[in-house]
Amino acid sequence: MTDNHIPLRSEIPAKYKWNILAVYPSDEAWNEDYKSIDEMIEPLNKLKGKLNEGADRVVEAFKIKDQIQEKLEKLEVYAKVNHFIDKTDSIHLAIYDRIYSKFSEVASQTSWIRPELLSLPDDRLEEYRKFEGMQFWLRTYDEIIRYKTHTLSKEEEGILSLAGSALQTSADTYLLLTDADMKYGNVVDDEGNEVELSNGNYIKFLHSLNRDVRKGAWMAVYNAHIALKN
């Protein structure tokens, strides 16, 4: 029998691990960028009610929104990877929760763009589409126009955008339970060795040519879940 325990991250050579410091050197640096999101939204909000002034206003709104989205995605990578490295780490769990709350907040604060744009007459929308500066954003623009008949009012779109965090909660709870809290115990592999089962190696055992190995892995996961049945 061999020692086939799942190694701690500290036991794994650096060349096999994510270099998350290439994204942000520290939590403090991440937090500074996080705080800058609110500052980036201010000039976008100043365009609210002004999209009827010309296609250049729409292009400006698209540009600012894309810059915000790009920064949010960078913040998300750092938060998500650190959380997945150790889901029992409460500090990075809090950072993970903050970024997804910010996604919902930004979605709510920018939800006015689509309904305001679609409130314009069709001939104005066609005129905007031909604007030279719109060519870079044409796919975004056309996608919005395509959904004209399915778009709610500004107020209704704002309410709908607030649902993001609530809808994500059940999935996050499940992942925390299965990745951090739930233990599946050991199973026997194709060579007869006892191996600690995890979400990472579960599929490997399910693909075994040995029926008993497949069954052992499946039953271990099933029993771990059924033990928590309320």
Provide the pLDDT for residue 62: 96
Cα 96 to the chain's mean position, in Å?
A: 10
Secondary structure of residue 172 in the 3-state scheme: helix
CA distance 160 to 110: 12
Top-level CATH class of 12-179?
Answer: mainly alpha
Cα(106)–Cα(100) distance, integer angstroms? 10
Q: In whole angstroms, what is the distance from residue 184 CA to residue 166 CA?
A: 29
Bridge partners of residue 186, in order along the sequence: 196
pLDDT, tens digit, 9 for 90 and up, residues 103-121: 988 988 998 998 899 999 9
- Phi/psi at 21 (5° precision): -70, -15
**Cα gap 190→123, rounded to integer Å:** 68
Joined together, the tokens standing for residue 95 give 């950072």
Kindly report the pTM of this predicted structure. Answer: 0.66
Planar angle of CA 34, 38, 40, nearest 5 degrees: 100
Q: Where are the domains of the chain?
A: 12-179, 184-226
Predicted pLDDT at 66: 95
Domain 184-226, CATH among 3.40.30.10, 1.10.287.830, 3.30.1330.40, 3.50.50.60: 1.10.287.830
pLDDT value at residue 25:
95
Residue written as tokens 């959380």?
A: 83
pLDDT at residue number 104: 87
Query: Tokens at residue 168, please?
Result: 């994500």
Cβ partners under 8 Å of residue 44, min gap 6: 61, 64, 65, 68, 109, 110
In angstroms, what CA-CA distances link 14 with 24, 25, 155?
17, 16, 49
pLDDT at 4: 67
- Please report the pLDDT score of residue 1 as a whole number: 40
Taking each continuous run of H as one helix and of E as one strand, the counts in the chain are 10, 2
CA gap 175, 192 in Å, rounded: 30
Residues of the chain below pLDDT 70: 1-4, 151-152, 154, 157-158, 160-167, 180
